[in-house]
């Protein structure tokens, strides 16, 4: 099954993994709309992709999400790679500002929930919603209590939504380290230290956005998959 002539919305398609998903879906024949909260980034991404529609959309704003889908027409598949790590991603839990920590859930969890609530109205039976989280859900590190909790909450959101929204299919992709623009923009010393963390895994390197994008294409095109979370981590769970 291909995405030829399928109508696809990629939220977070202005950069990183979302941009790679949009590029891969378009190459497979899909009609693609990319959405972001950043108009400048959105316009630049659309220019690079060519022939895609754009939408300014903040999935943390439920009224905006409802309004968008009220006038969007239908989609065959919706992908969300949007995320905002905020100020409380890492640090000793005993010293953490829990109000800052609560903000971690704003996009990846609550934004995904608001998206699912209204996206179900425009997706067909057999269509799909694919959410994004991260491998910290399964492999926590010291100092990452709330990031781990947030990532894990998305896993269980996927399970619940897959049952609730059937026969619409709901799945998730949980990448490990990925060389997105944010990663490439880190200071060299931090980037080198991060790369060293992946040296001991079966595939001893950080992943590329185009590699991770293939997981989303699989979940969109395989009509018998729902309620699954794909770990795309180079075997990191085994190291």
The strand ranges marked E within the chain are 7-11, 31-36, 53-56, 77-80, 128-132, 169-175, 229-232
Sort 4 into a burial class: Cβ within 10 Å, 0-12 / 13-18 / 19+: exposed
- For residues 77 and 4, the answer to whether their CB atoms sit within 8 Å is no
Q: Which is the catalytic residue, given 133, 136, 144, 239?
A: 133
Total residues found in the chain within this entry: 239
The strand ranges marked E within 58-127 are 77-80
To the query of whether residue 153 is one of the catalytic residues in this protein, the response is no
Structure tokens, 71: 């006038």
**Nearest residue to 172 (alpha-carbon basis) of 219, 138, 211, 223:** 219
- The C-alpha atoms of residue 34 and residue 1 are separated, in whole angstroms, by 22
The catalytic site residues sit at 133
């Amino acid at each position: 099954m291909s995405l030829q002539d399928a109508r696809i919305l990629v939220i977070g398609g202005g950069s990183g993994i979302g941009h790679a998903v949009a590029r891969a879906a378009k190459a497979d024949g899909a009609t693609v709309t990319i959405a972001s909260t950043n108009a400048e980034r959105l316009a630049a991404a659309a220019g690079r992709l060519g022939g895609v529609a754009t939408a300014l959309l903040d999935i943390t704003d439920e009224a905006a999400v409802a309004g968008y889908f009220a006038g969007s027409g239908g989609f065959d598949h919706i992908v969300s790679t949007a995320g905002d790590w905020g100020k409380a991603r890492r640090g000793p839990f005993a010293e953490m500002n829990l109000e800052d920590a609560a903000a971690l859930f704003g996009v990846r969890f609550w934004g995904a929930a608001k998206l699912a609530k209204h996206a179900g109205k425009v997706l067909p039976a057999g269509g799909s919603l694919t959410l994004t989280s991260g491998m910290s859900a399964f492999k926590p590190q010291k100092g990452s209590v709330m990031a781990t909790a947030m990532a894990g909450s998305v896993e269980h959101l996927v399970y619940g939504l897959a049952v609730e929204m059937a026969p619409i299919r709901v799945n998730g992709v949980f990448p490990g380290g990925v060389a997105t623009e944010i990663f490439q923009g880190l200071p060299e010393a931090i980037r080198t230290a991060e790369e060293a963390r992946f040296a001991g895994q079966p595939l001893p390197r950080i992943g590329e956005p185009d590699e991770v994008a293939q997981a989303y294409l699989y979940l969109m095109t395989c009509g018998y998959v729902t309620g699954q979370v794909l770990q795309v981590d180079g075997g990191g769970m085994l190291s």
